[in-house]
Amino acid sequence: IVEGCGRETQKELIRFLYISSGSAHELEYLIYAATELNFIENDLSQKILSEISEIKKMLYALIQTIKKQL
């Protein structure tokens, strides 16, 4: 996200925000996998997944806000 903020255009920033969103989805999958493999407990997994969900919502809202300014 910081790298995107350093770019010259808002479109470039949006591209980096989409990359960040993809990374959040990837992390979500990895948490599910780690839970299935019993690397982390279900309670911790649910807490982390909830936080990831909030981050994805924030990223989506930020992308939409920036798109409206274009």
On whether the pTM is more than 0.85, the answer is yes
**Is the Cβ–Cβ distance between 60 and 24 less than 8 Å?**
no
pLDDT at 2: 87
How confident is the chain (70 residues) per 10-residue block, as mean pLDDT?
A: 90 96 98 98 98 98 95
Domain ranges of the chain: 2-69
